Amino acid sequence: MGHKYLWTALCLWAFMCTLLHASSDGLLRVGLKKRQLDRDSIKAARSSKVDSKYVKAGLGDSDIDTVSLTNYLDAQYYGEIGVGSPSQKFTVIFDTGSSNLWVPSSKCYFSIACWLHPKYKSKKSSTYIANGKRVSINYGSGSVSGFLSQDSVEVGDLLIKDQVFIETTKEGSLSFVVAKFDGILGLGFQEISVGNVVPPWYNMVEQGLVKEKVFSFWLNRDADAEEGGELVFGGVDPKHFKGKHTYVPITDKGYWQFDMGDFLIGNMSTGYCDGGCSAIVDSGTSLLAGPTNIVTQINHAIGAEGIVSMECKQVVSEYGEMIWDLLVSGLGPDAVCSQIGLCFSNGKDQHVSSIIKTVVEKAGQEEASSKDDLGCTACELLVSWISTQLKQEGTKDSVLSYVNQLCESFPSPMGESAIDCNSLSKMPNITFTIGKKAFSLSPEQYVLKTGEGAATICLSGFIALDVPPPKGPLWILGDVFMGVYHTVFDYGNLQLGFAESA
């Protein structure tokens, strides 16, 4: 009997030591949940939330609060929050590409997604305050709608009082049905907040819950690791990165947007960012999204096989030489496609499809005009590619052969481009220049793997997404990039910091 009490005491002592260790550095950690990876799941993860649209303190600082993130398929990172009193728990994506908090409502009756996830019950919260204003949010993969409410929100050990959020009553996308998260907590600027709602991060700062106006992301890309990553509010964790951060200023408050320099495939500049490019860091986007013309070149260079290429190759065959001759003669690139009749002028010195639409949009169109639109899009792509090659003084035959090969790497309707898993060692690094410093991704870092053994499938981490002016063209550096580079979101100084992840 004495041994039994002694064993119980030892177990209790060990448990208390574990608790003390977990809280001694002020960080909250939760183990990684694992799930079998398959191709259908990766497609859902690629499109979830997605295309909407990124300091200094010691570990022992009580003003730093950490939220553990769960890694789902290297494509969704989510953590737990609480809403109401007593707290009702939800898993949310912490999304720097949007600015609202939403969770499913108990009044959501007709959306399948709501029946598969926890629902907020306002009647069970003593701190609930009614609002009722109707709102909706459109994401790249679908939309949610509902009404505003106000309540307390727990994020880690922080308690945000009087936070206005959205109770969703309709979630109109299959992505939300298969998603491992219940809702989204936006960490973008109030300028893009639906309903001009004050974002949770703003209230953390205003209510004095954080010492530094900084939060930072560490995403763990190790598939075998127990931790999915951590989001630190109020500072940075020095264990999350190596060396020093490179900081760049925010250029447009809304998304976490900055100016990016040259873009290289291997050691060769693409010429696409000679005059600079705009980019945003978006923790809610799984992949690396960029303009269709440059993503096609990347997929070609890494041997990825796209699906929608027939129209592109046909335009090369029928109009390639004409496009070359017009560009050599000095005709401006914006006028070439209307000159040969593939695009039509709108009377404002622009042709109808001067803003290249995404392949996803093109594939989804079933009207008779879709083929003509795709021909215009293909022409614009060819003009862009040939213009770049002209700067490098390539011959007509070699350039037309090259762009014909690019057509074969045109992204598929879901942005999915398959890669031979045995060819990773032969693929080039892809490099972004940020703050005059090179940030490279190796093939192992930008390729997503699914399955095991002979059933393993490799997919390109690059997806085509054309953001129209005035916001675009725009690069979206999602989790593929953030998994390699620890990212600091410095709200106080309006800047972003990047360093190699530890």
| Pick from 182, 122, 187, 190: nearest CA to 151 | 122
Residue 488 pairs with which residues in a beta bridge? Answer: 216, 497
The stretch 109-117 carries a mean pLDDT of 90
Least confident of 38-47, 82-91, 158-167, 265-274: 38-47
Q: What is the DSSP letter of 312?
A: H
pLDDT of 76 reads 66
pLDDT band at 90 (very low <50, low <70, confident <90, very high): very high
Residue 38 pairs with which residues in a beta bridge? Answer: none
Cβ proximity of 204 and 158 under 8 Å: yes
pLDDT band at 258 (very low <50, low <70, confident <90, very high): very high
pLDDT of 75 reads 55
pLDDT band at 361 (very low <50, low <70, confident <90, very high): very low
Cβ proximity of 287 and 481 under 8 Å: no
pLDDT of 130 reads 98
Cβ proximity of 26 and 66 under 8 Å: yes
Cβ proximity of 166 and 146 under 8 Å: yes
pLDDT band at 17 (very low <50, low <70, confident <90, very high): very low
pLDDT of 404 reads 86
pLDDT of 33 reads 32
**Which one of the listed residues 95, 151, 182, 237 is annotated catalytic?**
95
pLDDT of 286 reads 82
Q: Which amino acid is at 456?
A: T
Least confident of 292-296, 443-447, 484-488: 292-296
**Which one of the listed residues 282, 373, 466, 490 is annotated catalytic?**
282
pLDDT of 432 reads 95
Cβ proximity of 179 and 104 under 8 Å: no
The stretch 421-443 carries a mean pLDDT of 94
Query: What is the Cα–Cα distance from 468 to 364, expressed in whole angstroms?
Result: 18
When the pLDDT of each residue in the chain is averaged and rounded to a whole number, the result is: 78
| 3-class SS string, 444-464 | HHHEEEECCHHHCEEEECEEE
The stretch 276-298 carries a mean pLDDT of 88
Query: What is the Cα–Cα distance from 114 to 176, expressed in whole angstroms?
Result: 9
Dihedral sign, Cα of residue 42, residue 44, residue 49, residue 50: positive
pLDDT of 44 reads 43
pLDDT digits (tens, 9 = 90+) for 242-253: 999 999 999 999
| Pick from 80, 92, 48, 280: nearest CA to 185 | 92
pLDDT digits (tens, 9 = 90+) for 312-354: 887 888 889 999 999 999 888 888 888 888 887 544 433 333 2
Query: What is the Cα–Cα distance from 281 to 478, expressed in whole angstroms?
Result: 6
CB-based burial of residue 383 (10 Å sphere; 0-12 exposed, 13-18 middle, 19+ buried)?
A: buried
pLDDT band at 498 (very low <50, low <70, confident <90, very high): very high
pLDDT of 195 reads 93
User: Taking the model in full, what pTM does it have?
Assistant: 0.73
Cβ proximity of 209 and 235 under 8 Å: no
Query: What is the Cα–Cα distance from 296 to 294, expressed in whole angstroms?
Result: 5
pLDDT of 35 reads 36
Q: Which residue has the higher pLDDT, 36 or 217?
A: 217
Q: Is the pLDDT of residue 58 over 50?
A: no
pLDDT band at 223 (very low <50, low <70, confident <90, very high): low
What percent of the chain is modeled with pLDDT above 90? Answer: 41
Per the annotation, the verdict on 63 as an active-site residue is no
Q: Which residue has the higher pLDDT, 281 or 38?
A: 281
Q: Output the CA–CA distances (angstroms, integers) from residue 72 to 36, 41, 45, 242, in the order listed.
A: 10, 10, 8, 25
The stretch 17-28 carries a mean pLDDT of 38
Per the annotation, the verdict on 95 as an active-site residue is yes
pLDDT digits (tens, 9 = 90+) for 35-53: 333 444 444 444 433 333 3
The stretch 274-290 carries a mean pLDDT of 87
**What φ, ψ does residue 14 adopt, rounded to 5°?**
-65, -40
pLDDT of 62 reads 38
Cβ proximity of 257 and 376 under 8 Å: no
Query: What is the Cα–Cα distance from 483 to 11, expressed in whole angstroms?
Result: 37
Cβ proximity of 241 and 234 under 8 Å: no
Name the 3-class secondary structure at 23. Answer: helix
pLDDT digits (tens, 9 = 90+) for 145-201: 999 999 999 998 889 999 999 999 998 766 677 677 899 999 999 999 999 999 999
- Of 69-83, 239-253, 381-395, the range with the highest mean pLDDT is 239-253
For the record, the structure tokens of 281 come out as: 């860091």
Q: Is the pLDDT of residue 235 over 80?
A: yes
pLDDT band at 492 (very low <50, low <70, confident <90, very high): very high
Q: Which amino acid is at 492?
A: G
Q: Which residue has the higher pLDDT, 7 or 405?
A: 405
For the record, the structure tokens of 62 come out as: 């009580």
Name the 3-class secondary structure at 44. Answer: helix
Q: Is the pLDDT of residue 6 over 60?
A: no
For the record, the structure tokens of 105 come out as: 């409502």
